[in-house]
Amino acid sequence: MFYKKIYNFAYRNPTINTYKVKINLKIFILLISLLCSFYAYTQHVSGLSYDMDTLYDYSFAQRINSSYPKIIGRVIDGQTSEGLLYVNVVLLNPKDSSMINGTITDGDGNFVLETKTKGVNLLRLSFIGYRDRYLNVNMQNSNINLGNLKMQRHSSMLRSAEIVAERSQVEYQLDRRVFNVDKNIVSSGGTASDILEGIPSVTINDNGDVTLRGGNNVSVLIDGRPSELYGDNIGTLLQMMPASTIEDIEIITNPSARYTPDGMSGIINIKLKKRTNKGFDGNFSIAAGSGRHANSDFGKVPFPIGNTALALNYSTDKYSLFLSANAKYTDNLSYGLNDKKIVFKGQKANVFQQRYARELRLFGEAKVGGEWYIDKYNTLSAFYSVRGGGTAFDQDKKERLYSWQKGDEGNKDNANNYMGLEYSTFNMLFNAANLNYEKLFDTKGQRFSIDANFNYAYFITTNEQTKQFDESSPVTFFLRSPVYSTYNRYNLSIDYTHPFNNYLKMDVGYNNNLALNYSRNDFFGSKVAEKDPNMSYQFWINENINSLYSTLGFYLDKTFSALIGLRGEYVIRDGRKLQNNKESLFPQNQNTKNYFSFYPSLHIFYNISESQSAQVSYSKRIQRPRYTAMTPTVDINNPSIITFGNPDILPEYTDAFEINYNKIFSTTTIFTSLYYKYTTDAITKFNFVWNEENARKYGFVWVDEITQGKIGDDFRIASTFKNLISSSNYGVEIIVDQKITSFWKAYVSANVYGSYADGRNWGGDLIRTINFDVKLNTTIDLPRHWSIQLLGQYESKRKNIQGYQDARFWVDGAIRRDILNKKGNISLRFSDIFNTKERCTYTFTENFEQYQIYHRTTQSIILSFNYNFGVKTDHKAKEDNQQNPFSLENDD
């Protein structure tokens, strides 16, 4: 049942003083001087013979030689004899099992546990995926060296050469958080969007747009590379990608200068499943289910959902080949309500609109590629993928429009009731090709790589609308508007890593990103075959980004490390429009065409102890306007609203500061982050009543030129984009990862953040608000290889410069059973159990008020099957970079 709501007017806060953060030329000169000084210093000390093993051994000896007795040992894998990192080592009182002291192992599995307690105590070793081990230790006045301590994995060997270990659902690294998709049962049978919804501080709206810590300017990478779809189309990509093809999701909230500076809220890196086994192996998955809508007008008929994926791989010591394919089908229903009141120059109007829509989607992808291991130093890899599919969108609209003069509010005789029908299709085809060359050297950590990407996308969108008073009356409005568009992107990256010694290294690189966009917009104002030449037009927009970067990393005694970086970019942007055989340039503001920017970064890491670490970071980032935000394409398909881009919109810049702290206990991990982001020229959505006066006031006279004055002053709402003077975002994020019992695990995350935005220059509000999001994810391992998981989420009320969005919550659940000797599993997922995932928004301006409800089919039940097959043997990987915080900076 949909409920009626009463309008609430936003409280207008008093003005506060603001300041603008500026980084001037002197700071950059100082930064470059520091880089040069560090380089000169390294040349002076490059003859020193220290290595990290020597430095670490010295630190290890220092801890052993302190005053209190210690328990010393090394924890190793029972099968491979390799040292295990982050094993919890806890000394317990044998009488009540209370903890006396605890620590964790280092990268080689070593630990030193100090204790003042004498006598016989119990030592417990615990690590995810391994059986707990207990030892009695008799502490006196001297140290005890236990030597190598073997731990056995939980899972048994499937084949003589295959051992399967259990991974944690969340892994905390120095500069990022890694989420293991296989442990997220509630995404089984779903897509990348379903996975992201379960990750702390990440939200997905109804259009598939991603937000991170409340900010919607997120850069999404696929295996460390920009995807062939980004910006406005990233939601489509995420809804096309099956969850079964994804290995990990990395969240990088404050990246270094090595990464492109796009995405002011951070980077989400989707890592696909890798092919790292010798011989032949593969994976097959299939999922099917149905969704049900809460609105009774749709009836009780369920609507089908399904997807399937197949991946094959064959590897030898010299080469590897892979082939994968997947397909997805959805049948989705949605209900929308729009109640709008307009007041302008003594005239009032009310538009009440309801719509019922059905959307069918079918997408597919195929990918083929391989790697050639030329020798132990050189590798050449390539792949080609094609994605395609389409949607069919059919909706019925019921609209009631009445208007009256001031003082005549009681006269509703002039009300008009309309019926509207709309049918649209959307077809797409994406091609992506990649060629990568990597060269290693005799010096450990030295590396050179070239990565070239080519992406080509083609879109065809058609929309046809009719409007009439009732089913028997003649059509009063007809519009057909096909749009043909192409998108080409070329990306070239050259990277070189040079370690001067074992505690200092430098990365340098060059990147070129060229994007070519074209669209042809045709309008047919009647059912005749001839298009309207006055409203039909073509548009081109090109963007060429050239950038150079350098980072310098210090690594001292596995305790303190730092990474300083600087990136410079020069951007050339131009566009033109062709209409009625007349060509004009866009943007109109010449200052928005070409610009040069610096992006510094600084990251400091400090290991306080074996079980706790901290990080302080700063970076400057940019959000370039999305394609639809800057193109002059005008959409008049909706009779009550028009949408268009703003060719004069500027990019927005952010200075991001962050402090992270991570503490590991025996059964608990706590991650805390404090952050602050200050943004200039913030891009925001902007709504106003369309008329000639407002068009001139806000700088959109050209819209009338494109539409040849056919919009008129008929109480339509115009929706576009504007730059604010400044905005800021600040908050605290807390994640508690708790092992409640040996079979019950949970993590809870909370993000409390404040927002400041001044929209008073554009008829909006001064916003100072506190928001919060909470997620609870709990997993219980049951007997006979069963497991169950629940994911609950809550989003608080969100204010913006022209209104707010209501709070909402929802709960997802799933159950899974491992079968076929754990090579396969069957999952049953129940999404939006209480059918509460509804979005309600309010918009207020000086001329109109608007209340909207939007509810898609979010409640669904999906049964999925996943199976791994083939012979798997360990494939010897190439020697990796130095195991220090800076190896995490590699995109791949």
- Span 195-228, pLDDT tens digits: 888 888 788 776 667 888 877 778 888 887 776 5
Instruction: Name which of 34, 23, 29, 32 is nearest 597 in CA terms.
Output: 23
pLDDT in tens, 761-820: 666 667 788 888 999 999 999 998 999 999 999 999 888 777 888 999 999 999 999 999
Cα–Cα distance between 421 and 704 in angstroms, integer? 26
Q: Which whole-number Å values give the CA distances from 653 to 335, 564, 601, 625, 645, in the listed order?
A: 37, 20, 14, 11, 20
Report the pLDDT value the prediction gives residue 34, as an integer from 0 to 100.
39
Bin 97: left if φ > 0, else alpha if -120 < ψ < 50, else beta: left
**Alpha carbons 503 and 50: distance in angstroms, whole number:** 9
Percent of all residues in the chain with a pLDDT value above 90, rounded to a whole number: 24
Q: Report which residue type is found at 133.
A: R
| Most confident option among 14-23, 122-131, 732-741 | 732-741
Would you state the pLDDT for residue 813? 95
Exposed (0-12), middle (13-18) or buried (19+): which is 794, by Cβ within 10 Å? middle
- Collect all residues with Cβ–Cβ distance below 8 Å to 393 and sequence separation of at least 6: 357, 358, 359, 422, 423, 424, 425, 426
| Mean pLDDT to the nearest integer, 36-45 | 38
> DSSP assignment of 442-484, as one string?
SSTT-EEEEEEEEEEEEEEEEEEEEEESSTTSPEEEEEE--EE
Q: Is the pLDDT of residue 104 over 60?
A: yes
Sign of CA dihedral 699, 702, 704, 706: negative
Query: 254-295, pLDDT tens digit by residue?
Result: 888 888 888 778 888 888 876 555 788 889 999 999 887 666
What was the pLDDT predicted at 324? 92
Distance between CA 265 and CA 304 in Å, rounded? 35
727, 761 Cβ separation under 8 angstroms: no
Listed residue (871, 779, 869) closest to 824, CA to CA: 869
- Residue 605 structure tokens: 């890491």
pLDDT digits (tens, 9 = 90+) for 376-391: 899 999 999 998 988 8
pLDDT tens for each residue of 697-718: 888 887 877 776 666 655 678 8
| CA distances to 113, 172, 463, 609, 743 from 670, in Å | 21, 10, 51, 15, 20
Report yes or no: 393 and 359 within 8 Å, Cβ to Cβ.
yes
Most confident of 106-115, 415-424, 511-520: 511-520
Residues in the chain: 892
Split at pLDDT 50, 70, 90, the class of 867 is very high
Mean pLDDT of 413-442: 82
Token reading at 618? 């700063």
If one compares 27 and 478, the residue with the highest pLDDT of the two is 478
Alpha carbon distance 148, 630 (integer Å): 63
C-alpha distances in Å from residue 812, one per residue of 185, 191, 198, 788, 830: 10, 14, 9, 11, 6
Nearest Cα to Cα of residue 236 among 637, 636, 811, 627: 627
Asked if residues 189 and 289 have their Cβ atoms less than 8 Å apart, the reply is: yes
CA-based nearest residue to 496, from 448, 431, 455, 463:
448
**How many helices and strands (H and E) does the chain possess?**
7, 48
* Cβ-contact 555, 562 below 8 angstroms: no
- Quick check: 889 pLDDT over 80? no
Question: Is the pLDDT assigned to residue 252 strictly greater than 60?
Answer: yes
For residue 327, pLDDT over 90 is answered with: yes
Q: Would you say residue 595 has pLDDT above 80?
A: yes
DSSP letter, residue 175: S
Q: How far apart are CA 124 and CA 94, in angstroms?
A: 11
Among 64-68, 331-335, 614-618, 787-791, the least confident range: 64-68
pLDDT value of position 567: 96
Nearest C-alpha neighbor of 745 from the set 75, 270, 185, 193: 185
Q: Locate 119 and state its tokens.
A: 């006598």
Residue 62 pLDDT > 70: no
Query: What does the pLDDT read at residue 502?
Result: 77
- Cβ neighbours of residue 381 closer than 8 Å, sequence gap 6 or more: 369, 370, 371, 372, 434, 435, 436, 438
- Residues linked to residue 123 through DSSP beta bridges, in sequence order: 91, 135
Q: What would the pLDDT profile of 665-682 be if each residue is shown by its tens digit? A: 888 889 999 999 998 888
Q: What is the pLDDT of residues 646-659, one digit of tens each?
A: 878 888 899 999 99
Residue 30: per-residue pLDDT: 39
Closest-CA residue to 684 (of 803, 594, 598): 803
Across 676-699, average pLDDT: 84
> Minimum mean pLDDT among 34-43, 229-238, 412-421, 724-733: which range?
34-43
Residues 6+ apart with CB under 8 A from 604: 560, 561, 562, 563, 615, 616, 617
**668-680 and 726-739 as β-strands: parallel, antiparallel, unpaired?**
antiparallel
pLDDT band, residue 607 (cuts 50/70/90): confident
Of 422-436, 440-454, 586-600, give the lowest mean pLDDT range: 586-600
639: pLDDT strictly greater than 90: no
Give the whole-angstrom CA distance, residue 617 versus residue 257. Answer: 12
Mean pLDDT of 733-747: 90
Give the Cβ contact number of residue 408 at 10 Å: 11
Separation in Å, CA 755 to CA 267, 336, 677, 766, 772: 20, 28, 10, 10, 11
Q: Which residues contact 106 (CB under 8 A, 6 or more apart)?
A: 56, 85, 558, 610
Distances (CA, A) of 15 to 649, 731, 765, 768, 803: 25, 22, 10, 10, 18
- In sequence order, the 6+-apart residues with CB closer than 8 A to the CB of 532 are 523, 524, 525
Predicted pLDDT of residue 523: 80
Indicate whether 4 pLDDT > 70: no
Tokens of 680: 């200039």
- Its sign, for the CA torsion 81, 85, 86, 92, is positive
Instruction: Determine the pLDDT at residue 817.
Output: 94
Distance between CA 563 and CA 254 in Å, rounded? 13
pLDDT value of residue 321: 93
Side-chain-side CA neighbours of residue 354 (13 Å): 7
| Whole-number Å distance between alpha carbons of 263 and 379 | 31
419 φ/ψ angles, rounded to the nearest 5 degrees: -115, 135
**Coil, helix or strand for 162?**
strand
pLDDT at 886 over 70: no
Structure confidence by residue, pLDDT tens digits, 162-194: 333 345 677 776 567 888 887 788 888 788 888
pLDDT at 838: 84
pLDDT, residue 411, reads 47
- As to burial, measured by CB atoms within 10 angstroms (0-12 exposed, 13-18 middle, 19+ buried), residue 819 is middle
Structure confidence at residue 524 (pLDDT): 84
Higher per-residue pLDDT: 215 or 150:
150
Give pLDDT, residue 655.
94
Q: How confident is the model at residue 844 (pLDDT cuts 50, 70, 90)?
A: confident
Q: Which two tokens stand for residue 599?
A: 């992006």
pLDDT at residue number 816: 95
Q: Are 74 and 95 in contact (CB under 8 A)?
A: no
* 3-state SS, residue 801: coil
pLDDT higher than threshold 90 for residue 847: no
Beta strands in 293-377 (DSSP E): 303-315, 319-344, 347-373
